[in-house]
Structure 1
Amino acid sequence: MRRTDRCRWSNGEAPGGAARGATPPLPHPLGLGPRRFQEHDLEVASLAFSADDRLIATASCLKDAKLVVLDCATGKVVARQALEPGKRISACAWSPAVANGRSYTFATAAGDDLTLWTLDPFTGQLAGQKVVLGSVRREYSSLVFSLDGAWMLCGTNSGDVVAVNVQRRAVQTASPVCNGTVGALILSPDGPAPGGGVAAVAGGRDGSLSTFVLPPPGAAVGPPGASAWRELRAFALERSTNQLSLISSAQPAALTGAAFAAGQPEAVAASGADGSVAVWSTQDFTLQCRAQEPAQAGGALCCVLTQNTIISGWADGHIRCHGRAAGGGTAPPMWIIPGAHSLAHTIGVTAMRLANNGSFLLTGGVGGELRCWDMRSREMAAHMKLHADRITEVAVMADDKHVAAASEDRSWSLWDAGSEKVRTTWRTNTSLRGLAASPDKVSVVTVTTDRKIICWDVRSPEPRWTKVESHGTEAGCVASDNRGGAFATGGADCSVKVWDWQHGAEIAAGTVHTGPVTKVVFGPDDRSLVSVALDGSMAFWQLA
């Protein structure tokens, strides 16, 4: 493996040829084109750019345990230091202050150790000194220096922020800011907060965002201040006041369903286990409207979207309808079908699909029952019971006369909705997680827990083709496009894949989620695909 060259800055030059002590504007560190630094043999656990973008510190922590500082302009090594093997560097940060125009300071966190490093890039001398922790023992997750370099704030896995006096190399205070790990720390770029002290924002992995002020030396240490949120949101920080304003928000819990309205590719609905149903713009990804039900509803398990309404199925067995609004407003409740899927021992609406002509709503329940609801009267138009376990997905065939359902009882069925009679059933070796029907009226694809994708012709008892090991783990959902050319699947391996209907050939694949994918849906124009997952994320995919 080729290594980068080692360099020293001359007494009269800084990176990029600048005179020492001068700070001329420099091009982007990678302005000469992409660079590949290959100093580490096994991994890069952490990295950070200096405040002037001239240096980059990188650390590896396995057998090749070392700390390397590189010159961004040339890609050459400025300094190298061996590290203690087995301790992973979890965070790295540079101080904005440069002593005497030539001495840089940066810090690393490894487990419960904090180390302050001093670097002279002109001689390549790199020296580290551990911070005196005293009685404060934490696992550190994030670091940031104050603008004057006098303080270092350290986020921890226990939800507090530890303040270190850089000159004394000692811990001064610890303040709780969230539940769980502090995943990120930033400072207000306008310097000290009113009255002195360091104003900062902490992002917690519990979904919270909190502002707090580190008081100036000698001031009383109070609780972290002012603002805290417990949802996934994007905020703008007003520098002069350190006030936060909401830019956009997301549904903070697991997402269970997604749906487009016919002829409206510009908006998509998503249902959440936190009791929320929201409509999002697919153009600028902003929130259009949102409905929130109380905890007693048990969470939204599925949804469909129309031009004017959001219809959703809930864990309490109800079907709820909310009106669509604009500008991020609240979606008003319109009607409810109570107990739509409430049997003696099972409660919950697990799947739903709107008829192609919009005349009825097909739903499936925890108890294995299928029901059709007239959209005008909201009365039950059909009741179909065959499956012995939870309905995982339903589909309305293109003729709007036949409906299909997949179940965890290892079977799927095709029904005549008008007569409420089953036409035929098919069995698989394991539970079915999803089902989708092609617009050709005869093709159906199912996904199972043993990682198989099976394509069926409803006129034949045997599969047309089977795709084995479609995902790294079980496939969790499937959706067809609107032309019958392709279908998409999402898996517990967090990936989304697009397949050819005719032969089952893989067309495209991607992974952005960090949790199992629960729903995929094509836009009405087949130019986009939306996937949602248990990690609460929603991904927008552009299709060629």
Structure 2
Amino acid sequence: MGVLPLESVIGFDGKVNGGLVLHPDGRTLIYPLGATVVVKELGDTFAQTFLQGHTDEVSCLTVSPDGRFLASGQLSFMGFSADIIVWDMETRKAVHRMSLHKVKVQDLAFSPCGTYLASLGGQDDNSLVIWDVHSGNAICGTPVPGLTKCLSYFNVDSYKLATGGGQSLVVWDFDKPNRKLRPHKVNMGSLRRNAEYITVDDNDQQMFVGTSSGDVLKIALGACVYRQSGPYKSLVPKGVATNAISPTGDIVVGGGDGSVSVLDRESMKIIAVTKLASGVTSCVVAPGVHKDGGFGLYCGTDSCNIYYLKYSPTQGFLSELVQTCHSQAVNDVAFPKGYSEVFATAGSSDVRVWHVSEARELLRVSCPNVECKCVSFMPDGGSILSGWSDGKIRVFAPQTGRLMYTIHDAHKEVSAIVGSSCGGKIVSGGIEGFVRVWRIGPQSQTMLASMKEHKGPVNSLALRANDSECVSACSDGSAIIWDLATFHRRGELTANTFFKACAYHPDESQIVTTGTDRKVSWWEAFDGSAIRVVDGSETAEINSLDVSSDGTQVVTGGGDKDVKVWGYDEGACFHVGKGHSGAITKVKFTPDGQKIITVGSEGAIFIWQNMPLE
């Protein structure tokens, strides 16, 4: 069984605090996407490399000061170990896998010499461990007080580090000969703050701590005592999620309200501020000072966007959206008929159109407060069909995103949709079990038929090329073949399963289905008799399948997070792709069969290179 090669990824896990990391060379962005770590080269090519080895979502990242090593920690299930992986950035291979923490690795930090790695466990672990990077062995560890959330090594002294969290700031001395960590609590006086992020200045004289209260604390590290805080009057709403020190010495603050501020280091007053569309969770400053005395920085937001901000003392902030993606589950994916360069996705509240080879967004159509459940192209490519949680079918122009027309009260909730080859009809399915056929005219849209035999949600629809019949896969354990001339049932496929997906073979002699019984089933289209049943997964339901345009391959994906490519005639699995950290919701071959697009519940879009069967 071969490995399905991953070509590119559209996505960024912006909910990981401090998850966006800039390599010391200033030319490489590193960020988590589910269980995968993405290494993205900046420049004209935007080439991507994928580090895969984690078994669950990546929770934190850090790069050694010399740029040689990358460390990443992950989440795990209750009671299980959460691994730390150290990667060699030259070979892009895992060097060490280290397991001591339980449930979650909260934060990581390399020592300035790059020899030691400090790791902080989550609230179920609450321990601080120092590791030897070259051997991968733990040197020492200790419990930390309260709910500790952040960690930072000093920039000069490899034997000092600081932690912060629930109303506690502690500076630690790392005594390597005795394998001890000795705490020194920071004297805060009567001040009480919850630390969210820690940054230590270049000469280890001061520490700047972002708090959930919306201010930044300045701590003198020599005496371990609080000095001052700011901004004084205009506190950052929703707290300070991240902060950094710029090349000019000023403090850059990212707020949960989307604000990015520059604070004067001495007075702690705001010099400049800008506002992004959603809360800032990562803020990394690019090396070097610009000619005008400014600098550049990259910001990641909780809506999973990455921005590049250029700050100038005279002009303030100029922002550029570098990367965007879905921040919640992607429900559907669709290609125009016979065209492999673009595809559409259905997200939480929008429909987006993407370019395949450039892996970038071309168009976005948003409808606030409703969820897009399904999407499809009319075969002529003239419109994008979409079904929504409010029961409406909305049809958009594919180039401009203009709303062409809306079918109100199409279903209680539209769960599947497909357009006819003639372009004059739409077939839709709803969660109440109706399959409905709509006539699309220049000025009006009318319902031709409402077919009700299903007793559960219609999860998938497949239409014959001549529009004579369609198949509807339902959670009631039946997939019905409908005659679209008489609008009556022509045949039925039954199994002890919730049917999740169905598709015709290109010659339309057979139908392939899958569902919660973890089986992939082949059926005779003429009389509905079963031809072959194979086990598609050993552990979880299969949510989606697609048949290649030449009819030689079937791709499946589901709750086990694996993408599997099957030989249509052989019924055997030839390739497996791993990378998703959430359940795969939809899979799709490009019309030319060269690539496979998969989308998941974590919001990621994976583009795989299809491989010939061997």
Fold agreement, TM-score > 0.5: yes
Match of residue 396 from structure 2: 322
In structure 1, give the amino acid aligned to 2:401. A
Distance 1:89 1:351, change over 3 A: same
Q: How does 1:478-493 map to 2 (within 5 A)?
A: 478-493=545-560
Match of residue 366 from structure 1: 431
CA deviation map 1:360-403 (0-9, x unaligned): 32211222222233455544344432212221110012443220
Match of residue 141 from structure 2: 82
Whole-angstrom CA distance in 2 between matches of 1:542 and 1:49: 35
Match of residue 266 from structure 1: 341
In structure 2, give the amino acid aligned to 1:68. I
Q: What's the CA shift for 1:339?
A: 2.8
Out of 211, 215, 219, the position equivalent to 2:260 is: 211
Q: What's the CA shift for 1:467?
A: 3.1
Whole-angstrom CA distance in 1 between matches of 2:548 and 2:240: 41
| 8 Å contact kept, 2:126–2:143 | no
Tell me the SS of whatever aligns to 1:423: strand
Out of 358, 363, 369, the position equivalent to 1:284 is: 358
Out of 526, 530, 543, the position equivalent to 2:597 is: 530
In structure 2, give the amino acid aligned to 1:277. V
Match of residue 331 from structure 1: 401
Distance 1:406 1:76, change over 3 A: closer
CA deviation map 1:246-266 (0-9, x unaligned): 223233343222111112211
Q: What's the CA shift for 1:27?
A: 8.5
Out of 187, 191, 201, the position equivalent to 2:248 is: 191
Out of 474, 477, 480, the position equivalent to 2:541 is: 474
Whole-angstrom CA distance in 2 between matches of 1:439 and 1:57: 55
Whole-angstrom CA distance in 2 between matches of 1:487 and 1:77: 42
In structure 2, give the amino acid aligned to 1:413. I
| 8 Å contact kept, 1:188–1:239 | no
Tell me the SS of whatever aligns to 1:479: strand
In structure 2, give the amino acid aligned to 1:233. N
Whole-angstrom CA distance in 2 between matches of 1:361 and 1:322: 14
| 8 Å contact kept, 2:393–2:406 | yes
In structure 2, give the amino acid aligned to 1:501. Y
Q: What's the CA shift for 1:141?
A: 6.0
Out of 483, 493, 502, the position equivalent to 1:416 is: 483
Instruction: Give yes or no for the alignment of 1:304 onto 2:376.
Output: yes
Tell me the SS of whatever aligns to 1:252: coil
Distance 1:267 1:32, change over 3 A: closer
| 8 Å contact kept, 1:481–1:487 | yes
Q: What's the CA shift for 1:477?
A: 2.2
Q: TM-score, normalised by structure 2?
A: 0.68
Whole-angstrom CA distance in 2 between matches of 1:255 and 1:518: 7
Match of residue 109 from structure 2: 48
Whole-angstrom CA distance in 1 between matches of 2:97 and 2:352: 47
Whole-angstrom CA distance in 2 between matches of 1:82 and 1:88: 16
CA deviation map 1:493-537 (0-9, x unaligned): 444333332343223333433433322222111112222233332
Distance 1:181 1:523, change over 3 A: farther
Whole-angstrom CA distance in 2 between matches of 1:451 and 1:70: 44
Whole-angstrom CA distance in 2 between matches of 1:431 and 1:128: 57
In structure 1, give the amino acid aligned to 2:130. V
CA deviation map 1:100-126 (0-9, x unaligned): xx6664334577754434569999997
Match of residue 106 from structure 1: 161
Q: What's the CA shift for 1:43?
A: 5.8
Whole-angstrom CA distance in 1 between matches of 2:93 and 2:479: 54
Whole-angstrom CA distance in 2 between matches of 1:32 and 1:349: 49
Q: Percent identity?
A: 25
| 8 Å contact kept, 1:65–1:82 | yes
Match of residue 277 from structure 2: 229
Tell me the SS of whatever aligns to 1:439: coil
In structure 2, give the amino acid aligned to 1:416. D
Whole-angstrom CA distance in 2 between matches of 1:115 and 1:475: 48
Whole-angstrom CA distance in 1 between matches of 2:347 and 2:93: 42
Instruction: Give yes or no for the alignment of 1:163 onto 2:203.
Output: no
Q: TM-score, normalised by structure 1?
A: 0.75
Instruction: Give yes or no for the alignment of 1:541 onto 2:608.
Output: yes
Whole-angstrom CA distance in 2 between matches of 1:272 and 1:32: 36
Match of residue 22 from structure 1: none
Distance 1:32 1:421, change over 3 A: closer
Distance 1:59 1:498, change over 3 A: same
**The structure with more radius of gyration:** 1
Whole-angstrom CA distance in 2 between matches of 1:95 and 1:35: 27
| 8 Å contact kept, 2:502–2:512 | yes
Distance 1:131 1:85, change over 3 A: closer
| 8 Å contact kept, 2:473–2:480 | yes
Match of residue 407 from structure 1: 474
In structure 1, give the amino acid aligned to 2:428. T
| 8 Å contact kept, 1:107–1:114 | yes
Unaligned runs of 5+ in 1: 1-24, 342-346
Match of residue 192 from structure 2: 136
Q: What's the CA shift for 1:267?
A: 0.9
| 8 Å contact kept, 2:230–2:269 | no
**How many positions carry a matched residue from both structures?**
487
Distance 1:270 1:159, change over 3 A: farther
Whole-angstrom CA distance in 2 between matches of 1:125 and 1:385: 71
Whole-angstrom CA distance in 2 between matches of 1:242 and 1:105: 35
Distance 1:34 1:368, change over 3 A: closer
Instruction: Give yes or no for the alignment of 1:57 onto 2:117.
Output: yes
In structure 1, give the amino acid aligned to 2:184. Q
Tell me the SS of whatever aligns to 2:143: coil
Greater relative contact order structure (CA < 8 Å, 6+ sep):
2
Match of residue 25 from structure 2: none
CA deviation map 1:41-70 (0-9, x unaligned): 64694543345x643414376999773354
| 8 Å contact kept, 1:431–1:448 | yes
Q: What's the CA shift for 1:151?
A: 4.2
Match of residue 95 from structure 1: 154
Distance 1:144 1:260, change over 3 A: farther
Q: Over aligned residues, Cα RMSD in angstroms?
A: 4.0
In structure 1, give the amino acid aligned to 2:219. N
Match of residue 293 from structure 1: 367
Q: What's the CA shift for 1:239?
A: 4.2
Match of residue 13 from structure 2: none
Tell me the SS of whatever aligns to 1:229: coil
Match of residue 416 from structure 2: 351
Distance 1:78 1:527, change over 3 A: closer
| 8 Å contact kept, 1:233–1:248 | yes
Q: What's the CA shift for 1:273?
A: 2.5
Instruction: Give yes or no for the alignment of 1:254 onto 2:329.
Output: yes
Q: What's the CA shift for 1:210?
A: 3.5
Distance 1:146 1:497, change over 3 A: farther
Distance 1:383 1:63, change over 3 A: closer
Unaligned runs of 5+ in 2: 1-64, 70-87, 279-302
Q: What's the CA shift for 1:281?
A: 1.1
Q: What's the CA shift for 1:228?
A: 3.8
Distance 1:91 1:37, change over 3 A: farther
Whole-angstrom CA distance in 2 between matches of 1:482 and 1:441: 12
Whole-angstrom CA distance in 2 between matches of 1:493 and 1:174: 48
Q: What's the CA shift for 1:438?
A: 1.7
